[in-house]
Structure 1
Amino acid sequence: MVATVSIYFDTGGSDAAPATETDVDVLGPPNLRFKLADNPTIDTNDKLVIPASGDYYSMWKQIYLYCDNPDGNSIDNLRLYSDGTNNFGTGVDLEVGTTSPFPEKTNTSDAGYEVATKTGDSGDEMTANHAGVSAKASIFTYSEGSPLSLTISESGGVIDAAGETSDYFVLQMKISDTAGPGELPVDEQLTIKYDES
């Protein structure tokens, strides 16, 4: 048998103490919406703003792999990737924090969680405002053949019990002054791959 897992993200609350843990499966596609609010709701409120110059950001998302049932197995070697192509259009990118180890998350600790904040019409940029993120890259630089390795802070560096998790990985949408108005033309899909033994 194989383990069953879900993808969760945390919102609200205070640093190291999120208010809400959300399973993306309950939201239905699209499962995440990047906006100027720190909540899991899929709606048309709190839209991102195109800056007159430079870049604006969404509020960041803090996401993790959650083990529903290991079925006697251990999970490790987590890799995150996209299809390698940004289809959002000119001036729009999705960035991921690349600092390793990633912000700490376990079944008993949310130590790496930092509340997403904003200033005016922009979310606060993650490398300047999230203590666990000092470097970032476009998620589209990571593909199946060249993925981003994620980290696990559970005992032994593996996930082998229900409720155990990966560390957080942080995503944030960037809007540049070259972006055009309107809805994005496509939804993008990300993949987490792992080893199981």
Structure 2
Amino acid sequence: MTLFRETADVSVRPAVPGDETAVVDVQLAAWRHTGLLGPAVLDLVDPAAMTAQWARAITTPPAAGYRVLVACRGADVVGVASVAPVPAPEDRPFDAPGGVILALEVAPDSQQRGHGSRLLAAVVDLLRQDGADQVHTWVLDGDEARARFLGGAGLGPDGGTRDLATGAMPDGSEATVTERRWSASI
């Protein structure tokens, strides 16, 4: 007996208006799951502002080549990726452009099921279609799961680092996190 399903069990598709709430839920759950930002930092996050920002990114991308994709289990959004183009450097204008993965998150209860790999493959496919020959992203220090995932996909640290302010803490101090850039040729 053959069963027919109206939707695929798992898929990746462009985000559409209405996905923004699920995208924020996925992103916040993934951030909480890593434990790297800590509850004091996550308490500073404004979910309504994040939802509005994702809605704008989905409906009116900030630049050509900027895309938001979602991973789905049936009709449910369980992951998100966003990517933006990176032009060739001014000192090497004949180099092919690249791309930066701005977000790549999968809900904790949907991790280890291929959603992240499908999102990453879709992002790389889109970048290649746009003529990119490289991709990079940023990894928080201590995010060993993300490092293993990206390393298994062929990305590696390239020496770039940045410190990001995450907001004022209740005691008035400024919290920061360090990220390392990971990249690969595609």
TM over 0.5: no
Structure (1 or 2) with the greater helix fraction: 2
TM-score (norm 2): 0.23
Structure showing greater radius of gyration is 2
TM-score (norm 1): 0.22
Higher relative contact order (Cα pairs below 8 Å, separated by 6+ residues):
1
